Amino acid sequence: MEHVYLGRSGLRVSRLCLGTMNFGPFTAEEESFKIMNYAIENGINFFDTANVYGWELGPGVTEKIIGKWLAEDLTRRDKIVLATKLYGKMGEGVNDGKLSAYHIRKACEDSLKRLQTDHIDLYQMHHIDRETPWDEIWQAMEQLVREGKILYVGSSNFAAWNITEANYLAKQRHFLGLISEQSIYSLRNRHIELEVIPACKALGVGLMPWSPLGGGILCGVLDGQDSGRRKREPLQASVQKLKPQIEEYEKLCKELELAPADVALAWVLSNPVVTSPIVGPRTIEQLQQNIGALSIKLSAETLEKLDKIWPGPGNQAPEAYAW
């Protein structure tokens, strides 16, 4: 397993990040434990979660599963870089969400209890909060760093100008600011090539793509390689809409003698700005396949063919639409 620096920080993380969103709702606790064990045994030291994960089982469920796993063997905590997120609604109170200093403090304390740890390595804002001023956000984050409850701060679903403004204002406060950004990115969804990727490159912000397999579209939905995902209604609608592209994509994968999911993940990894794609396996077998994709190097010819099937903006802004 290769380990790389996360953005401009001195923190080294594995080239794959273990996403835990399925733990609880789709993957039972026992199987979740096995997946986490397999991950660290195979060099994955980067684990990502969020306080809202648990969905219909209730927010915080996924963090609790990770906390039980950490408590089972106290040596595990020092083997991983633990990342979680805040922003989403965690209760019925008017201050039980977003990024006020009030909620940042409470959300951090609650996540620490559920995760059964004394610190969070990477504390990420799950979405931009357009109502809370950055002075308030950074003051709250700085306090958590001083108290040793968090080490680094990251963002998720931020626009390029949000990332730029956040880091400009953090620098004025002599604070490190954002070292990472989680954005949706795959062959199916390439919007961030316009501005987010150039911003991350310029500012030294590590990029952690989520949904690198296109929500299942890129996993072999037509040839039956991912029959489990195909049963989901939202995916079925997307399959019908994108069927010509999917057919062409799966045909190319067969010619390459590679699984569609492996090609999709290898494509994301081929972008030099990408630090660690987030994979969210429901089973150990899926994680094994994800790790296998690390050894795939796509040729320039294959990358060109993929561009034709799943075209992106063609360049960064403004060249993509002007000159």
Best CA proximity match to 217, nearest among 194, 234, 205, 200: 234
87 included as an active-site residue: no
C-alpha dihedral over 140, 151, 48, 80, to 10 degrees?
-160
CA distance 162 to 141: 17
The answer to whether the CB of 316 falls within 8 A of the CB of 197 is yes
Q: What is the DSSP letter of 142?
A: H
Alpha helix segments (H runs only) across 257-299: 260-269, 284-292
Distance (Å) of CA 27 to CA 114, 218, 277, 281, 302 = 18, 21, 20, 9, 34
β-bridge pairing 150-156 and 46-48: unpaired
The beta strand positions in 7-104, using DSSP E, are: 12-14, 17-19, 46-48, 81-86
The answer to whether the CB of 153 falls within 8 A of the CB of 179 is yes
CA distance 40 to 95: 36
Q: Which of 38, 53, 87, 152 is catalytic?
A: 53
The answer to whether the CB of 261 falls within 8 A of the CB of 225 is yes
Q: Which residues are catalytic?
A: 53
